[in-house]
Structure 1
Amino acid sequence: MSLADRAAALDAADPLAAFRDRFLPAPSVVSYLDGNSLGRPLEATARLIDDFVRDQWGGRLIQGWTDGWLEWPLVLGDRLGAVALGAAPGQTVVADSTTVLLYKLARAAVDARPGRRTVVLDTDNFPTDRYVLEGIAAERGLLLHWVETDQATGIRPDQVAEAVDEDTALVLFSHVAYRSGWLADVPEINRIAHEAGALTLWDLCHSAGSVPVQLDEWGVDLAVGCSYKYLNGGPGAPAFGYLRHSLQDSLKQPIQGWMGHRASFEMGHGYEAAPGIRALLSGTPPILAMVPMHANLDLLAEAGIDAVRAKSLQLTDYVLELADEWLAPLGVEVVSPRDPARRGGHITLRRAGFEQLLAPLWESGVIPDYRRPDGLRIGPAPLSTSFTEVHDGLAILRDLAEKHR
């Protein structure tokens, strides 16, 4: 069977194939391989936004706040927790950006461990995570313990065990490494950190909506993530934060705004935090930007995260098959885990000079993601991507790589 026939057979057997028709078409795109960076919009999202602007915002005006908008950060947070995060109600909130929520939760965590002066993080985590902790360390007089991680893999439990001790306040890692797609062993790393008395904060940006997550079961303390990748929330869509119930009374986030107050509309003197997860809010919720989440969570709930994960692994297995057959002879190296138990939703390919292929790839209708110094990330979103689309995109990449060899 040819590789093209194999793609056709996989598409014919795909139980999620019909979901592709729920997304808006992009006529000029042959192969969209960047779902791990920005998800595609749903037809339902376009209808919801139009309805919101015309009927809810245009029709109800400021009355919309009392119609339910004020509760959206918590309502959508609970829905996201149930559909994608394995989180019981009252622990997840939709608000702000990933950067802002990282700051809130990390600052609250280190302040909740007075006397401990060290934060553990890894050298290849996403820049925002590293930059935020550098700033907090400078503010609070803390030390950063950098764990050197291989760019082709990611953080391992044995590395964490060597790094944490009685002086560790917090550890921060990504569940799925943004560069390689390495899937961290969250339960074991949590166990190690907790034995040392440290809190754990996980970045879920590259796993939410793609890889099953069980925050409650895994004993996660805090987590953040974005909604514009596999959750298809659109450019700059709001982030989400998770704070487990047992910590909500003791962790105090530092950006005290009116929406986190126990009685926002009293407009009184002095800040009194709201009970529960609402205290993680600060300013006015980005209601318009939250509209797509209603459609996206409906879609994910219908498909089921386990089915999404199963197709994701099939897609990335197929990417590996094409890479071995077509690209390895051209000097292209796979720098992502081949073990499915340790692989997230994308595959990174590496070859010197890949940056020169970006323009011709885009001109050919193929859109991957590029990460310096020389990596192409292939991120097929399971609900919007076919196996034939992957085949056609990598065939064009193969031809261009041969031409520019």
Structure 2
Amino acid sequence: MDLTRNAAVALDAADPLAGFRSRFAGADDDGPDRLLYLDGNSLGRMPLATPAAVRRVVEEEWATGLVGSWASWVGTATRLGDALAAGVLGARPGEVLVGDTTTVNLYKLLAAGARARPGRDVLVCSADDFPTDRYVVAGVAAERGMTVREIPADLDEGLDPTVLAAALDERVAVVVLSHVAYRSGALADLPAITRLVHDSGALVLWDLSHSVGSVPAGLTAAGADLAVGCTYKYLNSGPGAPAFLYVRQDLQTQLRSPIQGWFGQRDQFEMGPVYDPAPGIERFGAGTPPVLGMAALEVGAGIVAEAGVGRLAAKGRAMTELVVALADGWLAPHGVVLASPRSAGRRGSHVTFAHPQAWQLTQALIDRGVVPDFRTPDRVRLGPAPLYTRFVDVWDAMERFRAVLADGSWKDFPAERSRVT
């Protein structure tokens, strides 16, 4: 692998996704001191078309149309759900709904799934799942008098399917897992694990937050049961953007949302006295949908669908391979250790490194114009986003990382975390 900067420039020249970069705020800066943003797996850049889309809803639909605009707004959650299903998730129409947060959607689907498996009293999750997932699992278990079976997972390599298999039996109702591990980027084999869980008679609920828009989910092909995910990372929909949920079509009538809101009601504007869930995916709605946030999501998700998740995944693998190769030569001699699977096929679109002073290194990188993020206990996470990050941006960021290690400037920063990240 040619690791020169010229080779990175050549990769950019041949990149079929290169044209998308100019459609994001701040991504087209070519200056030598430019900000190198490698945190797209935490918050994506803003598409340049987003302000106009939100402004149109505010200044035309709200300001002029007033309450009459609900005639078009009321179906947005399912319309955008269908767009995500077809363009991003590999699902069918009527299986995806946009709205609420990932946490709320996770609660809705987990509680509904547990209720749909009577006689089973165990929920399974991974010890390395994102905190909100584990908190929700614990909360639902406490509500329903169930037991949590938390299985170990390697912080760097992710979930071992054989360990999961050993935890599955006739008591397990629902298994909650992440498609891509938030810390290491380890990619789970969604189809194989789904089959494994099905063999035990349980349902599997996938958290796609760190994979949606960067690697294919293929929910229909995998026979996936349930899934949730956020839209402000690789879908570039902005902070607080609405999340989504997925329920396989044949399961929808078997599940009942624990949040019986009026947007999940059949004939909602009849204002009936008794809750009667809508017949399809809309039964998992709750309160009024976030119309302004959905306007931003429509822009971000549309760009991802246009680019194609397969092409984005291929570029993501190539960029993370470059990160790992440069780290082997430049960072490893300074004690920085790869904390992600080495095989690109086993990773999502971010790479993590371990170092005892990872917090200080992260602050020093930010000071040098490189934006990564820190993850406990001692990890620096780099997330180049395939839509707008160039190979030369990756090369330059790693060169600045090498310089920070070589000159020891990271020692100038406090060893303890002084703010929440």
Q: What's the TM-score bracket when you normalise by the shorter of the two chains?
A: over 0.9
The equivalent residue for 1:201 is 205
Give how far 1:301 is off: 2.1
2:61 matched to 1:56? yes
2:357 matched to 1:353? yes
1:138 aligned to 138, 142, 151, which one? Answer: 142
Unmatched tracts of structure 2, length 5 or more: 412-421
CA offset digits 1:289-346 (Å, max 9, x no partner): 1111221222122211111111111110111111111101110000111212211110
Matching of residues 257-276 of structure 1 within 5 Å: 257-276=261-280
Give how far 1:396 is off: 1.3
Give how far 1:156 is off: 2.4
Give how far 1:402 is off: 2.2
Residue 113 of structure 2: SS of its match in structure 1?
helix
RMSD of aligned C-alpha atoms? 1.3
Give how far 1:360 is off: 2.9
- Whether the 8 Å CA contact 2:236–2:301 is kept in 1: the answer is no
Give how far 1:10 is off: 1.0
Q: Distance in 2 between matches of 1:223 and 1:29?
A: 37
Q: Distance in 2 between matches of 1:117 and 1:268?
A: 34
Residue 249 of structure 1: SS of its match in structure 2?
helix
TM-score of the superposed pair, with normalisation by structure 1? 0.97
Q: Distance in 1 between matches of 2:131 and 2:233?
A: 17
The equivalent residue for 1:35 is 40
Paired residue total: 404
Paired amino acid for 2:23: R
2:72 matched to 1:72? no
Give how far 1:4 is off: 1.1
Unmatched tracts of structure 1, length 5 or more: none
The equivalent residue for 1:24 is 25
CA offset digits 1:7-54 (Å, max 9, x no partner): 111111111111100001266852000000000001111221122221
The equivalent residue for 1:107 is 111
Q: Distance in 2 between matches of 1:217 and 1:304?
A: 17
2:16 matched to 1:15? yes
Q: Distance in 2 between matches of 1:358 and 1:57?
A: 43
CA offset digits 1:46-99 (Å, max 9, x no partner): 221122221122221111111x11111100001001111110000100010000
The equivalent residue for 2:243 is 239
Give how far 1:357 is off: 2.6
Residue 306 of structure 1: SS of its match in structure 2?
helix
Identity within the alignment, %: 50
The equivalent residue for 1:84 is 88
Give how far 1:2 is off: 5.4
Paired amino acid for 2:225: D
Paired amino acid for 2:24: F
The equivalent residue for 2:167 is 163
- Whether the 8 Å CA contact 1:116–1:167 is kept in 2: the answer is yes
TM-score of the superposed pair, with normalisation by structure 2? 0.94
Residue 311 of structure 1: SS of its match in structure 2?
helix
Q: Distance in 1 between matches of 2:405 and 2:228?
A: 37
Q: Following TM superposition, where does structure 1 have runs of at least 4 consecutive aligned residues deviating by more than 4 angstroms?
A: 26-29
The equivalent residue for 1:5 is 6
